[in-house]
Amino acid sequence: MTPDFDRAVELLRAGELVAFPTETVYGLGADASNPAAVAKIFAAKGRPADHPLIVHLAGHDAVDHWADQVPAVAWELMETFWPGPLTLILKKQAWVPDAVTGGQDTVGLRVPGHPVALELLRRFATVAGEHAGIAAPSANRFGRISPTTAAHVREELGDRVSLILDGGPCAVGIESTIVDCSGGEPLVLRPGHISPAHLEAVFGRRLRILMAAGAPRVSGSLAAHYAPQTPMRLVAGERLLDFLNAQRHKGDRCGVIAHSQPPQAGMPHVWKLLAADPVGYAHDLYAALREMDHAGVALIAVEALPETAEWAAVADRLRRAVTGSGGA
Ligand code: TXA
Ligand code: MG
């Protein structure tokens, strides 16, 4: 079925919420220039109001409307990676509502690489003004697993959202890479599908990878995030068999998220095999965590990932999910 773009644009214009697919995860969108509409996002998610939102745009042309003093390196990144899973933090224009920026002097911008998102943004800009943007965080309740299908959004938000545009499962599966270009050296605030190696190709030595700690400028950088309700544990591959046997002796059935085959046939545990490469793994990770939450297992054991740069983004999400689940 073709997504109902007309109704989506009507609702956005009326200050209502519309969930839509992007290539990373589904977003919960509102007219970014309407503070009352943006406030509804925070209410629907149960998210603290000082957490800034990403403004999604139809194209580069709209950037100067939202951002000020955009450095050359940011333009280079846009040229290379937009439309795509990259968010840039830039100095904001004075008019940009505090509701969007969490009261900061910067704004997060992204042109998403999903045909449904782009069509929605284009049509919205046609009626709301050529530079119009849609503010959208991931369409989950605060701290929970980001949705990668329309059904996940329904599960998370129910009728807190007026309309969900269905664009099928998200291709990337984890949230965009966030690069702060608002002052001095560009900094990676959140790792994502666009890897350090990718970024280095554009930045050369101008890039420092900083994983923000402390103040929650990036809500995805809170230690606890992306979490299932079932406790999670990271277990090294070589210890997995012993760990699972010990759980079995306790009478506990585990869910296992692994990138290796089960070491033994006939184990009483639920084994979810994900791809042994980071791109394929990211694509299915959040759906796997949700599946485990529904499987009635006592614990989710996750086979620890290789400690290499290419696995950094999924390893980051897993660590936060473990913390958020109350596991160790
Ligand atoms: O892939 C994505 O980025 C998805 C899709 C929907 O675009 N969106 C997403 O939104 O993950 P959200 O809100 O769950 O995470 C975006 C992060 C927020 O945690 C926020 O703190 C950060 O971007 N952010 C937005 N504006 C910022 C700013 N001005 N300074 C620092 N961080 C900012
Ligand atoms: Mg989120």
The CATH number given to whatever domain includes residue 123 is: 3.90.870.10
Q: Model confidence over 215-238: pLDDT tens digits? A: 344 555 567 778 889 999 999 999
AA identity, residue 218? V
Please tell me the number of the ligand nearest to residue 215's CA: 1
Q: Is residue 214 part of a domain?
A: no
Residue 215 lies in a domain: no
Range of 263's domain? 232-325
Q: How remote is the C-alpha of 151 from its chain's centroid?
A: 16
Residue type, 288: A
* pLDDT of 11 higher than 60: yes
Considering 209, 243, 269, which residue would you say is the last residue of a domain? 209
CA of 268 from ligand 1 middle (Å) equals: 39
Residue nearest to atom 3 of ligand 1 (CA): 176
* CA of 245 relative to ligand 2 center, distance in Å: 35
Residue 225 lies in a domain: no
pLDDT at 214: 38
End-of-domain residue from the set 176, 209, 242 = 209
| Predicted pLDDT at 267 | 78
219 lines ligand 1 (CB under 6 A): yes
Q: Which ligand is nearest to the CA of 143?
A: 2
**Same structural domain for residues 292 and 192?**
no
- Give the Cα separation of 283 and 254 in Å (integer): 22
**148/97 same-domain check:** yes
User: How far is the C-alpha of 288 from the C-alpha of 201, rounded, in Å?
Assistant: 32
Q: How far is the CA of 243 from the centre of ligand 2 (A)?
A: 31
Secondary structure class of 15 (helix, strand, coil): coil
164 in the same domain as 84: yes
Q: How many CB atoms lie within 10 A of CB 261?
A: 10
Rounded distance from Cα 246 to ligand 2 centre (Å):
35
**How high does pLDDT run on average in the chain?**
92
Q: How far is the CA of 43 from the centre of ligand 2 (A)?
A: 14
CA dist., res. 84 & res. 325, Å (int): 30
User: What pairing do the DSSP bridges indicate for beta strands 232-235 and 187-190?
Assistant: unpaired
Q: Residue 263 and residue 144: Cα distance in Å, rounded?
A: 31
Q: How far is CA 13 from CA 17, 64, 125, 126, 326, in A?
A: 10, 22, 10, 11, 40
HSE-CB of 209 using CA atoms within 13 angstroms: 14
Q: Quick one: 94 and 166 in the same domain? A: yes
Locate 230 and state its tokens: 């079932």
Note the pTM of the prediction, 2 decimals: 0.94
In a domain, residue 216? The reply is no
Q: Which atom of ligand 1 is nearest to the CA of 101?
A: 29
- Ligand 1 and 104: CB distance under 6 A: yes
Element (H, E) at 267: none
Query: What is the CATH number for 299?
Result: 3.40.50.11030
Query: Whose CA is closest to atom 12 on ligand 1?
Result: 137
Can you tell me which atom of ligand 1 is nearest the CA of 27? Answer: 6
Tokens of 117: 């998102």
- Residues 17-73: pLDDT tens digits? 999 999 999 999 999 999 999 999 999 999 888 899 999 999 999 999 999 999 999
Is there a domain that residue 237 lies in?
A: yes
Residue 175 CA to residue 51 CA, distance in Å, equals 16
* Residue 17, both tokens: 């919420």
How far does residue 219's CA lie from ligand 1's centre (Å)?
7
Looking at the 3D structure of the chain, how many domains does it have? 2
pLDDT(198) > 90: no
Mutate to test the pocket of ligand 1, among 25, 41, 178, 210 (most ligand atoms within 8 A of CB): 178
Instruction: Please give the Cα distance from 258 to 262 (Å, whole number).
Output: 8
pLDDT digits (tens, 9 = 90+) for 260-309: 988 877 777 889 999 999 999 999 999 999 999 999 999 999 999 999 98
